[in-house]
Amino acid sequence: MNKYTIICLIIFILLGPFLLPNATITEMLIFGIVAISTNIMLGYTGMLSFGQALFFGTSAYISGLILLAGFPIFLAIPIATLGSFLISLFVGYFCVKREGLYFICLTFAFNQMFYFIAYVWTEVTGGEDGLVGITRPEFIDTQFSFYVFISILFLTSLYLMYKIITSPLGLIFKLIRENPSRAEAIGYNVRFFKLVSFSIASTFTGLAGSLYVLIHSMVPIDQIHWLKSGDIIFMTLFGGVGNFLGPLIGVVGYIWLSDTFSIIWARWPLIMGVIFAIIVLYFRGGVSELLENLVKKSQSYFKKNKDEKYIKN
């Protein structure tokens, strides 16, 4: 991250609440955590999981239930996050035994299992109606204080994840993406580090899930459905996997576009599908790579102009 991206990020967080409805901008920050953490697994380690909604949803349920039981939020968030960490170790242990398509299928299968548990276990999860009646604690009751609260957690998560990917661990993830058998041959336990990557992504996704319940004061069951996993992958790819903050652009774009289109036309997913197809076909690095290339081009353009002037003088 150079200083320009950090400035852009700060401007986005400061101006966001004035440009967008409060629920929208907080949702963007929450899914920002999800997409950036998913990218650690997808972009850095090269593992495509189709089961991230499992952790998002389960954590949302845990956090919601703890709040409903009357416990404070400072208990709900850590317990829910810890819960998704433990589940990710369990699920991940089995999933990383396989690679490629089989890995995807396993994550998908686990996602479906947890979905149906939530669906059937109506006394606890509210089944199809979702978990309702959760109240926000007083200190984050106003829109402003809630936004500040979410922003702080968002920036803290970002900082932690940035530390992770710039540590040797981040490099090990890239080794696994580039050439797993060679990584193994120079002494890295590939399966273990895949599990680490999977757990990091899932734990941060869980943290985001535990915050999500606070926006609408409920947990709709579609937050644990595999379609949500698809959305997460979509947002990450849309923003671009080649860049640490790229997925955030994807989240902002995706949520803004779906909010805008859904008012105009009920069949808006069709438009999103077209956009997604174009991105995957022509801009493999997503929006962030597109922007990077534009910046590079304009830089070389200005530099050229400068040089020409210099020659003329």
List residues near other proteins by CB under 8 A. 163-164, 166-169, 171-172, 174-175, 178-179, 181-190
Residue whose C-alpha is closest to residue 29's, from 258, 251, 253: 251
Terminal alpha carbon distance of the chain: 37
185 vs 274, beta carbon nearer other proteins: 185
Query: Rounded to the nearest whole angstrom, what is the least distance from the CB of residue 129 to other proteins in the complex?
Result: 43
Query: Rounded to the nearest whole angstrom, what is the least distance from the CB of residue 169 to other proteins in the complex?
Result: 4
Query: Rounded to the nearest whole angstrom, what is the least distance from the CB of residue 163 to other proteins in the complex?
Result: 8
Query: Rounded to the nearest whole angstrom, what is the least distance from the CB of residue 112 to other proteins in the complex?
Result: 32
Place of tokens 């991940």: 92
Place of tokens 């493999």: 284
Query: Rounded to the nearest whole angstrom, what is the least distance from the CB of residue 110 to other proteins in the complex?
Result: 26
User: Contact 255/19 with Cβ under 8 angstroms?
Assistant: no
For residue 144, CA distances in Å to 141, 150, 280, 287 come to: 8, 10, 37, 30
36 vs 183, beta carbon nearer other proteins: 183
163 vs 216, beta carbon nearer other proteins: 163
Place of tokens 């003088």: 313
Question: Is 287 buried (19+), middle (13-18) or exposed (0-12) by CB count in 10 A?
Answer: buried
User: Which residues are CB-contacts of 250 (< 8 A; sequence separation ≥ 6)?
Assistant: 35, 234, 235, 236, 237, 238, 239, 240, 286, 287, 288
CA 96 to chain centre: 20
Query: Rounded to the nearest whole angstrom, what is the least distance from the CB of residue 238 to other proteins in the complex?
Result: 22
Structure tokens at 294: 């534009």
**E strand or H helix at 223:** none
13 vs 175, beta carbon nearer other proteins: 175
Query: Rounded to the nearest whole angstrom, what is the least distance from the CB of residue 180 to other proteins in the complex?
Result: 10
**E strand or H helix at 188:** none
* Distance separating alpha carbons of residues 198 and 221, to the nearest angstrom: 23
Query: Rounded to the nearest whole angstrom, what is the least distance from the CB of residue 51 to other proteins in the complex?
Result: 25
144 vs 192, beta carbon nearer other proteins: 192
Structure tokens at 306: 């400068």
136 vs 174, beta carbon nearer other proteins: 174
175 vs 224, beta carbon nearer other proteins: 175
